[in-house]
Amino acid sequence: MQNFIFWNPTKIIFGKGMIAEIGAHAAQHGKKALLVYGKASIKTNGIYDQVVGSLRQAGVGVVEFSGVKSNPILSHVNEGIALAKREQVDMVIAVGGGSVIDESKAIAAGVKTDGDIWECFLGRKEPQGALPVLTVLTIAATGSEMNFIAVLTNDATQQKFNLRSPHLFPKVSILDPTATYSVPKTYTAYGAVDAISHLIEGYFTSADPDTPIQDRYVEGLIKSIMESAERILANPENYEGRATMMWAATLALNGLPAAGIGATAFPNHLIGHSLGALYDLPHGATLSIVIPAWMRYAANLNPAKFAQFARRVFHLTAGGSDTEIAEKGVNALKVWFRKIGSPVSLSEVNIPESELRRIAEHTQPLAQKWQIAQQYTADVVAGILQDCK
């Protein structure tokens, strides 16, 4: 195990009926909230009314800010920062999925940080603080509700970059599984892929061979995510399936699976972020395309770990070398992505082979920021993309 610091102060309020608690928690942080959301869907499924009703009862005023995109963009964040300053709100309340929470974090930090908040995403400076962020989660996927990460796309430069800062931990996140009943099957599948991707990036890229606690955490969470995705796709209002998916996706990126495994890389996100920024594809869809190809590439470098994954997650215990079993595990995951309806090839999302070089080149600034440009050159990325056709 490697040395680490683990600290995660977000309070999770989990379960049926818990959205009604938002007002009481918000009231501890002030009198006026910027209420951030995406589309009108939270008005049709009743979540908006639950949130606003609870806030009103607790005496917390609301300034609405909607229109967050699936891939949240800097220009909209800047509008939110200006509005939050003008209205002198005390906190930001995100009602939505990872996109809405990420944008809310960026707005909250932007209010307390001088100058252009994008400078922080570029790694050129640190946020000086942030307004308190509270969240009401409506999609299980990114884990943003219990971590200090925000991902944002600069719509002027088409860069999709992330920011990590202890100021960004939500104070309180309310996770009511029934709030995800109306998430369509496609986005349920993308959420499952996203949560699995968060787990396997660290699991496979850690160089430490002696992390039994973390390995078993990850394997157990992946199995629970896969089981619950199938329950949900069979019946979108299966409470236990929705609850397991929601909590597993939160735990997948709350710092715990990564604590003690040392330096890791996010190569699937590297390529996925470029696909998302260039073609505005859903994040989970980009990942299910990239992951099987990346795994085939990486399994050659560390067949033992990929074979462990195949044995423990897919119970592929038949004879064969680690390399053979690893390959079977990769295929099993790809088959499962296809089964739940997430794309596994670029052709399914209409990206022709002629684009591969452009995508590969586009990954390089982020690869440099993440300090993996030496391993993930444009040529290596292009090779992986070739395998995604």
Distance in Å, CB of 263 to a copy of itself, minimum = 14
Tokens for 203, please give them. 């699991």
Residue with the two structure tokens 């067949």: 303
DSSP assignment of 285-301 equals HHHHHHHHHHHHHHHTT
Distance in Å, CB of 82 to a copy of itself, minimum = 33
157 φψ region: left (φ > 0), alpha (ψ -120 to 50), beta (else): alpha
Decide: 389 and 343 in contact? Cβ < 8 Å.
no
Q: Nearer to a copy of itself by C-beta: 243 or 287?
A: 243
Contact positions vs a copy of itself (CB under 8 A): 1-18, 177, 210, 212-213, 216-217, 219-221, 223-224, 227-228, 240, 243-244, 247-248, 251, 256, 259-260
DSSP assignment of 39-108 equals STHHHHSSHHHHHHHHHHHTT-EEEEE----SS-BHHHHHHHHHHHHHHT-SEEEEEESHHHHHHHHHHH
Q: Nearer to a copy of itself by C-beta: 98 or 177?
A: 177
Q: Nearer to a copy of itself by C-beta: 17 or 319?
A: 17
Name 301's Cβ contacts closer than 8 Å, sequence gap at least 6: none
Q: Nearer to a copy of itself by C-beta: 258 or 385?
A: 258
Distance in Å, CB of 2 to a copy of itself, minimum = 7
Distance in Å, CB of 61 to a copy of itself, minimum = 26
Cα 359 from Cα 159, distance rounded (Å): 12
Distance in Å, CB of 41 to a copy of itself, minimum = 24
Q: Nearer to a copy of itself by C-beta: 10 or 165?
A: 10
Q: Nearer to a copy of itself by C-beta: 120 or 259?
A: 259
Distance in Å, CB of 374 to a copy of itself, minimum = 27
Cα 10 from Cα 170, distance rounded (Å): 6
Decide: 91 and 64 in contact? Cβ < 8 Å.
no
Distance in Å, CB of 314 to a copy of itself, minimum = 15
10 alpha carbon, distance to own chain's centre: 16
Q: Nearer to a copy of itself by C-beta: 315 or 389?
A: 315
